[in-house]
Amino acid sequence: MTQPAAPTRRTLLALAAAAAAASPASGAAGSGVGGTRVATVDWAVLETLLALGITPVAATELLQFREVAVEPAVPASVADLGLRGTVNFEMLQLVRPELIFISNFYASSAERLGLIAPVESFTIYAQGVAPFSAAEAMTLAIGRRLGAEAAAQRFVAETKAEFAGLRGRIAALGGRPVIPINLGDARHFRVFGADSMFGEVLARLGVANAWTQATSYSAMAPVGLEALARIPEAWIVVIPPVPEDATRILGRSAFWNALPNVVAGRVLTLEPVNPFGALPAARRFARLLVAAIERYAGAARG
């Protein structure tokens, strides 16, 4: 007689996490005002749900989300579906979502996800799409769909009010342009253009983006470090993660240390921000940027 196959470690972990997500201690996890159990495979959707006070039953790459996106905080009741590109469908089925939110990045998975629960998709990052306005529209749409319309409208209004305050603060700090980048290594970086969320944040703060060349819906990479020599007056704003060897090598680089921005101390390394986030990421980037420039200005006065 054939013995049943032993459960795999992946299956056991999925069962344990599913049990935790469905336990009474998780309260209203995954529920909007109407009680819909919702899951998502997209980080921009995840941060929006959490900002509206809606805890999904499951989402993807939660350990990395906590390191890269940082906020809003993800409750322990949310089951981790693994990698965004290779979702753990077994886990997803176990947590029994009634609705799955995705973005256009995961359109290829929509049909398979749809076998588990209805799928609805949003687009924030695409050619010709202004991500900030698209993120506002997504926030309001999620609010309507999950019975949290008042919370969504309040969050959009709070976002506008916060930007108005930050715009006034940064206007008093000299108005230098900013180039937002991720360092790929000690010789190359990824730059975020006017069509990125970071670029739109700069525009809404009244700050010029020092990178004026075209980008392919949000970013361009790799760009050689020598490009920074063309914008000596700008703030170089580095968004982590920063490779360890890049920090070490740049510290010894004659070219890097001769850049006027570096000589003047106009290099700001922020805390991590999700570069492809929604309104919560936009607000986080704006707050961190203004606070960093204020610290520099205060140190210069001191």
Q: Quickly count: other Cβ atoms within 10 Å of residue 174's Cβ.
A: 10
Instruction: Return the SS3 of 228.
Output: helix
In this structure, the chain runs to a length of: 302
Which CATH code, of 3.40.50.1980, 3.40.50.150, 3.40.50.300, 3.40.1190.20, is assigned to 166-301? 3.40.50.1980
Q: Quickly count: other Cβ atoms within 10 Å of residue 137's Cβ.
A: 14
Q: Which amino acid is at 91?
A: M
Determine the pLDDT at residue 214: 86
CA distance 79 to 161: 33
For residues 48-59, b (16+ Cβ closer than 10 Å) or e, as one string?
bbbbbebbbbbb
Question: Yes or no: is domain 11-122 CATH 3.30.70.3270?
Answer: no
Delimiting residues of CATH 3.40.50.1980 domain(s) in the chain: 11-122, 166-301
CA distance 190 to 118: 36
| pLDDT tens for the chain, residues 1 to 302 | 444 444 455 554 555 555 444 443 333 455 555 589 999 999 999 999 999 999 999 999 999 999 999 999 999 999 999 999 899 999 999 999 999 999 999 999 999 999 999 999 999 999 999 999 999 999 999 999 999 999 999 999 999 999 999 999 999 988 899 999 999 999 999 999 999 999 999 999 999 999 999 887 788 989 999 999 999 999 999 999 999 899 899 999 999 999 999 999 999 999 999 999 999 999 999 999 999 999 998 877 76
Mean predicted lDDT score pLDDT of the chain? 90
Determine the pLDDT at residue 163: 98
Phi, psi of 301 (to 5 degrees): -70, -35
**Residue 147: which of 30, 274, 278, 289 has the closest Cα?**
30
Strand partners, 38: 99
Token duo for residue 121: 């998709």
CA distances from 204 to 107, 189, 199, 232 (A): 30, 24, 9, 23
The DSSP element (H or E) to which 300 belongs, if any, is: helix 279-301
Instruction: Specify the DSSP class assigned to residue 28.
Output: T
CA distance 253 to 132: 37
